[in-house]
């Protein structure tokens, strides 16, 4: 299988975590990809030119993160990241939606902050941050009830990791850990999992190919 994705320094994507948890990471050809460059091989597999994109051995493409995660989860016999049925499944999917939403709204906030000064809206920035805070407060309430490790928790962990990265860049007004001991304790434990450790070799490859900005680690447009 081939995986088109964008490695970012100090950031672990959900597809990487799922592949490692499923025991498939080293069996997948990982192709560092800048989706803005519209690489012909990537576009041929995914007309949306979005990452991640997975191409199966027979050439069948899969795109849309949740589709890829569940496909990879179907290929191993260990504990499933997608519970097969019942409320355990619905809760994992709901939590995945909350974790992905946390990521998405902070990405939107980053986009607003990067707009030219004459177009930037502090009101929009504050509305995005208020949404982040509400999501974090909900996660703080739920964290003591989480057991095991599923796709919902992966989404939450990766969202928090993105907030950490934004905080390191001075773009977050307050540490998300403040007054959230339950979420902090859970995150500190989850970060010890092998699947949640940085894999910088792919990032270095992309940097050497000139695909990523050395300042931000994000794709050059």
Residue of 175, 174, 194, 193 whose CA lies nearest to 184? 175
The tens digit of pLDDT for each residue in 41-92 reads 999 999 999 999 999 999 999 999 999 999 999 999 999 999 999 999 999 9
Amino acid 10: pLDDT: 77
**Which CATH number does the domain 86-190 belong to among 1.10.3210.10, 3.40.50.970, 1.20.1050.10, 3.40.50.880?**
1.20.1050.10
Q: How confident is the model at residue 34 (pLDDT cuts 50, 70, 90)?
A: confident
Indicate where the chain has its CATH 3.40.30.10 domain(s): 2-78+196-208
Amino acid 214: pLDDT: 47
pLDDT for residue 26 is more than 60: yes
188: which residues sit within 8 A by CB, 6+ positions away? Answer: none
The tens digit of pLDDT for each residue in 115-171 reads 999 999 999 999 999 999 999 999 999 999 999 999 999 999 999 999 999 999 999
DSSP states along 58-104: TS-EEESHHHHHHHHHTT-SSS-SS--SHHHHHHHHHHHHHHHHHHH
Half-sphere exposure of 83 (CA within 13 A, CB side): 18
Indicate where the chain has its CATH 1.20.1050.10 domain(s): 86-190
CATH 3.40.30.10 assigned to domain 2-78+196-208? The reply is yes
Q: How confident is the model at residue 8 (pLDDT cuts 50, 70, 90)?
A: confident
């Amino acid at each position: 299988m081939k995986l088109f994705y964008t490695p970012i320094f100090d950031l672990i994507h959900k597809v990487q975590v799922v592949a490692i948890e499923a025991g498939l990471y080293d069996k997948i050809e990982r192709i560092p990809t800048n989706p803005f460059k519209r690489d012909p091989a990537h576009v041929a597999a995914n007309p949306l030119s979005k990452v991640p994109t997975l191409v199966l051995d027979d050439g069948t493409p899969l795109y849309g993160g949740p589709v890829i995660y569940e496909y990879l989860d179907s290929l191993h016999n260990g504990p499933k990241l997608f519970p097969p049925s019942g409320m355990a499944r619905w809760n994992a999917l709901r939590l995945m939606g909350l974790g992905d939403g946390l990521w998405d709204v902070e990405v939107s906030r980053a986009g607003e902050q990067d707009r030219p000064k004459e177009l930037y809206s502090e009101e929009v920035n504050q509305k995005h941050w208020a949404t982040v805070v509400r999501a974090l407060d909900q996660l703080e309430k739920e964290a003591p009830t989480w057991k095991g490790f599923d796709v919902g928790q992966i989404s939450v962990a990766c969202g928090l990791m993105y907030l950490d990265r934004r905080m390191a860049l001075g773009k977050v007004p307050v540490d998300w850990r403040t007054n959230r001991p339950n979420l902090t304790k859970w995150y500190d434990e989850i970060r010890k999992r092998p699947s949640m450790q940085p894999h910088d070799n792919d990032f270095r490859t992309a940097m050497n190919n000139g695909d990523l900005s050395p300042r931000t680690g994000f794709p050059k447009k």
